[in-house]
Amino acid sequence: MLPTEQDVLDAIGESGVRAMVAAFYRRVRNDDLIGPMYPADDWEGAEERLAGFMLFRLGASDDYIKTRGHPRLRMRHMPFSIGAAERDRWLSLMGEAMDETRVPPHARHFLDALFNQIADFMRNRPE
């Protein structure tokens, strides 16, 4: 049986999602490719938005929708030039964050598929 959103929540919980996102942003801050896409004066906000989105996507909370509305991920990312290199770097940094926070294999399987789908969808630049 394939893992579900609930399996991920059962495995890592809200605190695990937040730890994973924090580990991701520690890497992004120093990244030469995707780091400059993030607002230098709003790292905490960016981290909270991704954590909120993830908790919404996993069915743990609807706070993201209450405060931000529909995710509209592609529209929100349109100002940034995102190609294969940016997608791959995002995925690499998130993979490192999942390694650091020891996301269990079954939850990692689900998250890897989710992140690959979302990251590829964010591409807005032809190669």
CATH number at residue 28: 1.10.490.10
Looking at 1-10, 34-43, 66-75, 105-114, which range is the least confident one?
Answer: 66-75
- Which residues constitute the domain of residue 29? 5-121
Give, as one character, the DSSP assignment of residue 71: -
Q: Would you say residue 102 lies in a domain?
A: yes
Q: Kindly state whether residue 105 falls inside one of the protein's structural domains.
A: yes
21-34 pLDDT per residue, tens: 999 999 999 999 99
The answer to whether position 18 is within a domain reads: yes
Question: What letters, b where the CB count within 10 A reaches 16 and e where it falls short, cover 43-54?
Answer: eeebbbbbbbbb
Establish if 127 belongs to a structural domain.
Answer: no
- Could you report the per-residue pLDDT of 42-99, keeping only the tens digit for each? 999 999 999 999 999 999 988 878 887 776 777 677 788 899 999 999 999 999 999 9
pTM of the model: 0.91
Q: Is residue 126 part of a domain?
A: no
Total domains in the chain come to 1
